[in-house]
Amino acid sequence: MRARNRIAYGFLAPYLLIFAVFWIWPIIYSFYLSFLSTRAVPWTWAPHMNWGRLWIDPAFWNALRNTLVILFIQVPVMIALATLLAVLLNSQLLKARGIMRFAFFAPVVVGEVAYAAVFRLMFNADFGVINKILTGVGLPAVSWFSNPTAAMALIIMAVTWRWVGYNAIIILAGLQSIPDDVYEAATLDKVSKTKQFFFITLPLLRPIILVCVVLSVIGTMQLFAEPFLITNRGGPGGATETLGLFLYRQGFTVLNFGYASAVAYTIAGLAIIISLINFWLGRDPK
Amino acid sequence: MAGVTLKNVVKRFGSVQVIHGASLEVEDGEFVVFVGPSGCGKSTLLRIVAGLEDASEGEIEIDGMLVNDVEPADRGIAMVFQSYALYPHMTVEQNLSFGLRMNGNPREDTNRRVQKAAEILRINELMKRRPKQLSGGQRQRVAIGRAIVREPEVFLFDEPLSNLDAELRVQMRVEIARLHSELGTTMIYVTHDQTEAMTLADKIVVLRDGKIEQVGKPLDLYDDPANQFVAGFMGSPKMNFMEASVKSASNGSATVKLVNQGGAMITLPVSDGPAVGDRVTVGVRPEHFRAAGQGDCDIDLNIDVAEHLGSTSYIYANTKSGEQLIVEREESRSEVGLEKLTASIPAQQAFLFDAQGKRLN
């Protein structure tokens, strides 16, 4: 190794050391842990136990089902809303565009606990503003925290509220990269605004929407804060328990680190598979 | 096919007025070029004809119909953009057929038109490619093809060649001229390049600061410019302008003193008599300078740079007081390396402008 490189690595060493100890090692070690029985001390080598349990554990399947339900409803709804929002935020007709863009981006900056508390208050079954509005227009009040379906809807709405503006800003950047004269050419081609959106805007936004979808898939696979804080640890009765929450429960409540590690690898694996499917579905058609 | 008429067209962006009452008649089948320096309003005027911008005042007629309130797509025009504005995610074929397909044009007719355009522009081999797989010249052809497919009454070109390299530009210029003679359609073409204007146009419209300075045939503008701006803009290399002051003026002629040429005097025929003492400008095209003693006023020059092009040479020379002039000479091998030159101005070919740039002779 040349002297210059040695010096360079010397400067990099503190970072590499921390990276190795706190990133690389846990990744390797947790993989090893997933093959141990960690239900009692001392931990023992039991390669089939945790991975085998995943297949037959109803609590895991419940968490997986919940996560996928949220994923398949929330991500498409949110991306559709974000695209619509981006188009509106890009409109020349919109006044105070800077403020509007910030306003929709702001939820990302709000602390999770604060926003969860606000959602709990708003959706409170007895005195929350949402039920007041529902009953005000003649609809029945909803038991947001005790009805499993309503609780799931609440989680989906909360996550969507929090991340829609963030995705809209990313999509907005994509919109702004489409040159005006392409739309002018389409206008001269007598293509209506609606058709321009579906046949020009959407296809040109595809790569950026794909990025948003993949980021959202990864985020949703790890969903933790909302079911933990808003629906009170995945309630009612595990109806909103996600894989992230299940992992947390196994690892840090039950202290079964081997099983938690297997769950963690499953989450990562699923996120990768679903993302790859997205990339494949959204590939450039040739 | 159709003519285009502009009547007192005014365009304001907020409080800024960019077009100041433009009136113009474009005949059916004519090739008209809007030319002028950047920011003169030529593209805006074209976009007003296209309907991409609304006129603040005035009337636009296409084929005798008032089109101020007609949608761009219904004006019977097609436009080629400077940046080509191709749909990047579509193949060439899809680019050409997109507008027709979106409007429910019968498939057979669409195919026929696309095929015809592809043949005219010789882009048959490119039909399955995307714009990013094409060279600049090919993209430009596709952009023109997209206009042809619409079978418009009027073609509008907005600086279509300015993104191409010099060689391609010449080639595409010839193509566009060929296209015009083949289709015989009215074309309005915007450029800042006076060479393009001179070579393509049946009629040139020179614009400056949102005003039409002069309209005419290319050689008429060259030979008989209405003012100093047009005289300077048309022609390459540019016309030389020399400061002068009027020493005496009589009926039909004026004697002026060239301020920066050591006080050389020249008598020019004038139609609009200036007063003695007026500041004026004498304009001489580079090719009109004659050899010493063969014109009406000799001026001594120090040669700065000489460009020898083989058949002709351009001499960039300074007068004693530092004014730069360009003199075109028939190439003479014996003049290479020369440091001094005496050129002579022929009075019959010199132009005279007043301080406001108005032509006096």
In this prediction, residue A84 has a pLDDT band, given cuts at 50, 70 and 90, of very high
B202 and B65, same structural domain? yes
Interface membership of A286 toward B (CB under 8 Å): no
Same domain, B158 and B264: no
Q: Do B138 and B156 fall within a single domain? A: yes
Chain B nearest-CA residue for A207? B89
Residue B305, in any domain of the structure: yes
Partner A, chain B 94-133, Cβ-Cβ below 8 Å: 98-99, 102-103
Inter-chain residue contact B72 with A188, CB threshold 8 Å: yes
Domain residues for A150?
55-281
Find, in chain B, the residue whose alpha carbon is nearest to that of A181: B85
Q: Are residues B195 and B344 in the same domain?
A: no
- Nearest residue of B to residue A188, measured between CA atoms: B73
Regarding whether B200 and B253 lie in a shared domain, the answer is: no
Looking at B233, B253, B282, which one is the last position of a domain? B233
Amino acid of residue A8? A
**CB A181 to CB B78 under 8 A?**
no
Asked whether the beta carbons of residue B78 and residue A179 sit closer than 8 angstroms, the reply is no
- Considering only CB atoms, B99 lies closest to which of A181, A190, A206, namely A190
Cα(B61)–Cα(B65) distance, integer angstroms: 5
Q: Which of residues 43-62 of B touch A (CB under 8 A)?
A: 50, 52
Which residue do the tokens 């894989």 mark? A243
Cβ of A181 under 8 Å from any chain B Cβ? yes
Write out the two tokens for B248.
Answer: 């005496």
CB contact under 8 Å between A199 and B79, yes or no, is: no
Residue B283 belongs to some domain of the structure = yes
In a shared domain, residues B280 and B217: no
Task: Tell whether A269 is covered by a domain.
Answer: yes
pLDDT band for B101, please (50, 70, 90 cuts): very high
Same structural domain for residues B314 and B187?
A: no
CB-CB neighbors (< 8 A) of A190 in chain B = 71, 73-74, 99, 102-103
Domain-located, residue B188: yes
Give A-chain residues touching B98 at CB under 8 angstroms: 186, 189, 191, 199
Which of the four pLDDT bands, split at 50, 70 and 90, describes residue A242? very high
Q: State which residue of chain A sits closest to B151, comparing Cα positions.
A: A189
Residue B248's domain is classified under what CATH number? Answer: 2.40.50.140
Asked if the structure places residue A32 within a domain, the reply is no
Average pLDDT of span B236-246? 91
Residues B132 and B62 placed together within one structural domain of the fold: yes
Closest A-chain CA to B78: A188
Tell which residue, B267, B206, B230, has the closest CA to residue B359: B230
CB atoms within 10 A of CB A247: 22
B316 touches chain A (CB under 8 A): no
A52 touching B (Cβ < 8 Å) = no
Q: Is B263 left (phi over 0), alpha (psi -120 to 50) or beta?
A: left
What pLDDT band is residue B1 in, cutting at 50, 70 and 90?
low
For position B177, which CATH number holds?
3.40.50.300
Same domain for B60 and B140, yes or no, is yes
> pLDDT tens for residues B297-335?
888 888 888 888 888 999 999 887 888 899 998 877 777
Residues of A in contact with B81 (CB under 8 A): 181, 184-185
pLDDT of residue A286: 59
Q: What is the mean pLDDT of residues B111-139?
A: 91
Say whether pLDDT at A92 is over 90.
no
Check residue A44 and give its pLDDT. 87
Q: CA B40, CA B162: separation in Å to the nearest integer? A: 16
Among candidate residues B51, B48, B5, B50, the one with its CA nearest the CA of residue B28: B5
Supply the CATH number for residue A151's domain: 1.10.3720.10
**In chain B, % of residues over pLDDT 90:** 59
Quote the pLDDT of residue B164: 85
Q: Which of A85-94, B106-115, B164-173, B262-271 has the highest mean pLDDT?
A: B106-115
Asked if residue B196 and residue B55 are part of one domain, the reply reads: yes
- Which one of B233, B263, B280 terminates a domain? B233
Structure tokens at B334: 């014996």
Specify if A224 maps to a domain. Answer: yes
B99 touches B149 (CB < 8 A): yes
**Residue B55 covered by a domain:** yes
- Whether residue B50 and residue A188 make contact (CB cut-off 8 A), yes or no, is yes
Quick one: B171 and B36 in the same domain? yes
Q: Does B336 share its domain with B251? A: yes
Radius of gyration of chain B measured on its C-alpha atoms: 24
Is pLDDT at B175 greater than 90 in this prediction?
no
Tell whether B359 is covered by a domain.
no
For residue A201, tell me if it sits in a domain. yes
The per-residue b/e assignment along B148-181, b for 16 or more CB within 10 angstroms, e otherwise, is: bbbebbbbbbbbbbeebeeebbeebbebbeebbe
Put simply, whether A153 touches B (Cβ < 8 Å) is no
Average pLDDT, chain B: 90
Structural domain harbouring B263: 240-354
Q: Across A211-257, where does the E strand assignment appear?
A: none
| Alpha-carbon distance A188 to nearest alpha carbon in chain B (angstroms) | 5
Q: Is A25 on the interface with B (CB under 8 A)?
A: no
**Which of B233, B265, B291 is where one domain is finished?**
B233
> CB of B332 within 8 Å of any CB in chain A?
no
Cβ-defined contact of A195 to B52 (cutoff 8 Å): no
Does residue B188 or residue B163 have the better pLDDT? B188
Quickly state the pLDDT bin for B260 (edges 50, 70, 90).
confident
At A285 the pLDDT is: 67
Q: What HEC string does chain B produce?
A: CCCEEEEEEEEEECCEEEEEEEEEEECCCCEEEEECCCCCCHHHHHHHHHCCCCCCEEEEEECCEECCCCCHHHCCEEEECCCCCCCCCCCHHHHHHHHHHHCCCCHHHHHHHHHHHHHHHCCHHHCCCCHHHCCHHHHHHHHHHHHHHCCCCEEEEECCCCCCCHHHHHHHHHHHHHHHHHHCCEEEEEECCHHHHHHHCCEEEEEECCEEEEEECHHHHHHCCCEHHHHHHCCCCCCEEEEEEEEEEECCEEEEEECCCCCCEEEEECCCCCCCCCEEEEEECHHHCEECCCCCEEEEEEEEEEEECCCEEEEEEECCCCCEEEEEEECCHHHCCCCEEEEEECHHHCEEEECCCEECC
Residue A18 has pLDDT above 90, yes or no: yes
pLDDT tens per residue, range A176-188: 999 999 999 999 9
Interface membership of B146 toward A (CB under 8 Å): yes
Q: Between these two residues, A152 and A39, which has the higher pLDDT value?
A: A152
The answer to whether B311 contacts chain A (CB < 8 Å) is no
Binding-face residues of A in 195-214 toward B, CB within 8 A: 195, 199-200, 203-204, 206
Give the pLDDT confidence of B199-232 residue by residue, as tens digits: 999 999 999 999 999 999 999 999 999 999 999 9
CB contact under 8 A, B99 and A191: yes
| pLDDT tens track for B12-60 | 999 999 999 999 999 999 999 999 998 899 999 999 999 999 999 999 9
pLDDT, mean over chain A: 91
- Mean pLDDT throughout A153-176? 94
State residue B209's pLDDT score.
93
Do the beta carbons of residue A275 and residue A221 sit within 8 Å?
no
A31 domain residue, yes or no? no
CB contact residues (below 8 A), chain B span 69-98, against chain A: 71-74, 77-79, 81-83, 85-89, 98
Mean pLDDT of B323-351: 86
pLDDT in tens, B132-174: 999 888 999 999 999 999 889 999 999 998 888 888 888 889 9
How many structural domains comprise chain B? Answer: 2
Q: Does residue A7 fall inside a structural domain?
A: no
Q: Is the ipTM of this complex over 0.90?
A: no
Domain count along chain A: 1
